[in-house]
Amino acid sequence: MSHIKKKRIGLLIPSSNTTQEQEFSQILPDKISFHSARLTLKDVDLSSTIHIVDELERGVRSLNDADVDIIVFALTAPSSRNGLGYDLELKNRIEDVSGKPAITASTALINALNELDCKSLGFCAPWSEDVNAFAISFLIENGFEVPDTKILGIRSNLEIGRLPSSSTYQIAIDIDSPKVQAIMLACGNWMSMKGVDHLESILQKPVLTTNQVSLWSALKTLGIISTLPGYGVLLRDHL
Residues 16 and 56 in one domain: yes
Task: Count other Cβ atoms within 10 Å, centred on residue 164.
Answer: 9
Q: 40 in helix, strand or coil? A: coil
Q: Is residue 239 part of a domain?
A: no
CA distances from 188 to 67, 70, 104, 107 (A): 24, 18, 11, 14
**Are 218 and 190 in a shared domain?**
no
Whether residues 101 and 149 share a domain: the answer is no
**Rounded Cα–Cα distance for residues 111 and 103 (Å):** 11
Any domain includes 17: yes
**49 shares its domain with 100:** yes
The pLDDT tens digits for 172-209 are 999 999 999 999 999 999 999 999 999 999 999 999 99
Which pLDDT score, from 0 to 100, does residue 1 have? 40
Q: Are 128 and 179 members of one domain?
A: yes
Structural domain that includes position 124: 108-210
- Residue 232 included in any domain: no
Q: Is 69 part of a structural domain of the chain?
A: yes
Can you list the residues of the chain whose pLDDT is less than 70?
1-4
The verdict on residue 236 lying in a domain is no
Q: What is the pTM of this model?
A: 0.96
Instruction: Report the CATH number that the domain containing residue 192 is assigned in CATH.
Output: 3.40.50.12500
Distance from C-alpha of 95 to C-alpha of 99, rounded to nearest angstrom: 5
Q: Is residue 204 part of a domain?
A: yes
Closest Cα to residue 103, out of 4, 1, 213, 197?
213
SS3 call for 116: coil
Residue 139 pLDDT: 98
- What pLDDT shows up at residue 5? 79
Task: Provide the domain count of the chain.
Answer: 2
Residue 183 CB-half CA count within 13 A: 30
For residue 133, tell me if it sits in a domain: yes
The answer on 199 and 129 residing in a single domain is: yes
One domain for residues 160 and 131:
yes
Whether residue 203 lies inside any domain: the answer is: yes
Q: Report d(CA 146, CA 166) in Å as an integer.
A: 23
